[in-house]
Amino acid sequence: MGRRFFVGGNFKMNGTQTFLKNLIDNLNAGQLDDNVEVVIAPPALYLDQCRKQVRKEIGVAAQNAFNATSGAYTGEISPEQLKDLSIEWVILGHSERREIFKESDDFVASKVAFALKSGLKVIACIGEKLDEREAGRTFEVVTRQLQSIAKVVNDWTNVVIAYEPVWAIGTGKVATPLQAQEVHEFIRKWLKENTSEATAENIRIIYGGSVNASNAAELAKQADVDGFLVGGASLKPEFVTIVNARI
C-alpha cells in the first residue's frame, strides 16, 4: 500500500475562537483527498473547541507537551490531559521550541518518548539553521537530533518525522524539491542503518518550511517526501489545496 501521505497544519500562536471556527468550517466543507491523513494543531486554548468542531477523520495535535503526567509544572500540559480532550497527536521539537525556549536534543527526545509511552502519536521535528547548511553540516545536525530520539525510542510506529530547515520556516524561502528529497533520503537511510529496515520503509518523513499552494505539488512528487507540516498557509483557504497536492 505504501506510506499514507500526511499533511499537518501548525497554527502556532494564531487565531481566536471566531477565526478558528471560520477556518474549520472551510476545512470541513472542503473536498479532501481520502488518501491523505490530515492533522491540525491549534493553540492549546482552542484544542477542545477545534476537536469538537472539526470532522472526526481529521486529527488534532497539541503544539507541545511536557514529559510528566502531572505536577508542579506551571504553564505546561501533559499527555494525559491531551488524551482527556481526545487529542491524538503532539508536535515536539519544533525549531521555535528549540531556539526560543532552548529545548535541547535530549529534552526533546525525553518528551517524544514520554508522549509515545502515554499513548500519543508524535510529529517529531528536526532541521538545520542557515549557518549550519552553509557550513555543510545539514546531515550532521539531523543525525544528532535523530540519535537523541533513537536512544530512548525503540518503536517508531507512531512517529512522523518532520524535516524543517530552520532557514525556510516563515521566511518565504523553500528548500527546492531536490534539496528536500536529498535530506529525506538521508534520514530514511539513517533510520534503516540505525533502527530497522521496516521502520525506515514505513515511517513518514514530511517537509516543513514555507509550504504553500504553489510549491506543494512539486515537493509532493519526491520519492521520500511523505507530506508536509504547514505553517502560515494552514491559516488560509489554500490549506485545502495543499492537502490535495497529489491529485
| Residue 21 clears pLDDT 80, i.e. is over it | yes
pLDDT at 47 over 80: yes
Higher pLDDT, 1 or 94: 94
Question: Can 184 be counted among the known catalytic residues?
Answer: no
Q: Provide the pLDDT for residue 174.
A: 82
- In 3D, which of 205, 239, 229, 200 has the Cα closest to residue 95? 229
57 φ/ψ angles, rounded to the nearest 5 degrees? -80, -10
Say if residues 188 and 224 touch (Cβ distance below 8 Å).
yes
Residue 63 near residue 43, CB atoms below 8 Å? yes
Confidence of residue 83 (pLDDT cuts 50, 70, 90): very high
pLDDT for the residue numbered 230: 97
> If you average pLDDT over residues 80-104, what whole number do you get?
98
Catalytic residue among 37, 96, 128, 164: 164
* Segment 172-203, tens digit of pLDDT: 888 899 999 999 999 999 999 999 999 999 99
Domains contained in the chain, CATH given: 5-243 (3.20.20.70)
> What are the pLDDT digits (tens) for 219-230?
999 999 999 999
- Mean pLDDT of all residues in 48-72: 98
Active-site position among 94, 103, 128, 184: 94
Mean pLDDT (whole number) for 145-165: 98
What's the pLDDT tens digit per position in 99-147? 999 999 999 999 999 999 999 999 999 999 999 999 999 999 999 999 9
Q: What are the backbone dihedrals phi and psi of residue 17, each rounded to the nearest 5 degrees, phi first?
A: -55, -45
Q: 164 catalytic, yes or no? A: yes
Instruction: Identify the pLDDT of residue 217.
Output: 97
Confidence of residue 1 (pLDDT cuts 50, 70, 90): low
Amino acid present at 60: V
Could you give the angle at which helices 138-152 and 177-194 cross, rounded to 10 degrees?
Answer: 40
Please tell me the distance from the alpha carbon of residue 209 to that of residue 163, in angstroms, as a whole number.
9
Q: In 3D, which of 169, 164, 178 has the Cα closest to residue 224?
A: 178
- Whether pTM > 0.95 for this model: the answer is yes
